[in-house]
Amino acid sequence: MPAVVYFDRNGRRIARQTWLALSARPDYVVIARDPICVDGNDAWVITTWLGIATTTTDPPIFQTFIDEAGTAPHVRHLRWTWSSLQEAQRGHREVVRQLTSART
């Protein structure tokens, strides 16, 4: 079983206790949150810091996902992962752009 490794938002390894403390702070966990409309349903594109991985080589410590139960299944289950804060911020903006431009 691979070892679990913890990272802060800057990609530095941290102790589990530090990760637990940071995970309890929504201002640290949520990177970006934007409302969109998909197939006539309001939804959110949310990018969060996970800070946990089983690899130390480009660990996917951020994720972007769609949050809306009423959204079409082909959109609701989309998920993207990122290895750095900069990738996560750029990726979030691109996901919002793609989803909103595809619907206009």
pLDDT digits (tens, 9 = 90+) for 37-81: 877 878 899 999 999 999 878 899 999 999 875 555 555 578 999
Torsion angle (degrees, nearest 10) of CA 67, 68, 71, 76: 30
Residue span of the structural domain in which 30 resides: 5-101
Quote the longest CA-to-CA distance of the chain: 46
Q: Which residues contact 59 (CB under 8 A, 6 or more apart)?
A: 5, 7, 11, 53, 83
State the pTM of this model: 0.87
pLDDT score for 71: 54
